[in-house]
Chain A
Amino acid sequence: MVPLTHALVLAAILFVIGAVGVFIRRNAIVVFMCIELMLNAVNLTFIVMAQKVHSLDGQVIVLFVMTVAAAEAVIGLGIILALYRNRRTLDVDEIDLLKW
């Protein structure tokens, strides 16, 4: 069968890759894609745990996470579109009006 600890380590590495991507990328859409990558890593963790304790609750939680991720993608991309319409840039380094 699938080595469960290695699958958890894979999920951890994917999460960290997504987190590093959020830090270093400047395009707002790519930052959002890295957030989706983090959510996928969390989904993998839930499913591995569901296999480990022989319970299907983890898989039901994954369904809810996917639905909320879809709703979040819609709203986030709407925000990005409104941002582009007002500031004509998607560079997160240039959107700094809230800095002190």
Chain B
Amino acid sequence: MIPLLFYLFAFVALLAAVLVIVKKNPVICALFLVLAMLCLAVIYLLLGAEFIAAIHIIIYAGAIMVLFLFVIMLLNLDKEPRATVKGRFYKMAAALLGVILLGVVAGAVGLLSIPERGVAVVAEVDNTKAIARLLFGRYLLPFEITSVILLVAIIGAVVLVKKKL
């Protein structure tokens, strides 16, 4: 049952990703990207990461893609006549590079031999509590630095869209 669900949502995610790079209208591309992210969130659930699945939907589909759609509709472009680069050469070169990259990455997957490390808790506590213990314990410094990153992003966004500094 679970492998069947995984294959189903993996297929839908792949289809949505291909349609993101194929469709002309950027709003349609954004919506297909949201669909791909939702399918990925279900796959996270199947992998036992329920907190990450919820946070994925809230942050990515709920905040980042909404921001994308705001900007797309704010700029209000008329439909462009050409969506992809000019010339068949670049498309074929991109496809060839994609195949080579896929070979490299899939080969790396096949060559992996991961040693089993039974480090953190998985069984007794639920996912949220375990992640919270790690995030506020061992990874407290990266957590605080992330808050500084967000502050820098806010300041940068305000500075970038000001008309005169």
Return A28 CB to nearest CB of chain B, in Å: 10
The 7 closest A-B pairs by CB, nearest first: A21-B21, A71-B153, A78-B160, A23-B94, A12-B105, A20-B98, A56-B120
Return B148 CB to nearest CB of chain A, in Å: 10
Docked complex Cα distance between A32 and B130 (Å): 33
- CB of B8 within 8 Å of the partner chain: no
Contact string, A60-100, partner B, CB cutoff 8 A, digits 1/0? 10111011111111110111111010000011010000000
Interface range for A: 35 or more
- 18 more contacts with CB within 8 A, not counting A34-B20, A77-B68, are A2-B43, A6-B7, A6-B10, A10-B13, A10-B14, A16-B105, A23-B85, A24-B85, A25-B84, A26-B83, A32-B68, A37-B36, A44-B43, A60-B135, A66-B59, A70-B59, A74-B67, A82-B160
Majority secondary structure of chain A interface residues (helix, strand, loop or mixed): helix
23 cross-chain CB contacts under 8 A: A2-B2, A7-B43, A10-B10, A16-B98, A17-B18, A20-B97, A23-B93, A27-B26, A29-B71, A30-B29, A44-B40, A44-B43, A50-B49, A51-B48, A53-B119, A56-B120, A56-B121, A56-B122, A60-B135, A60-B139, A71-B149, A74-B154, A81-B71
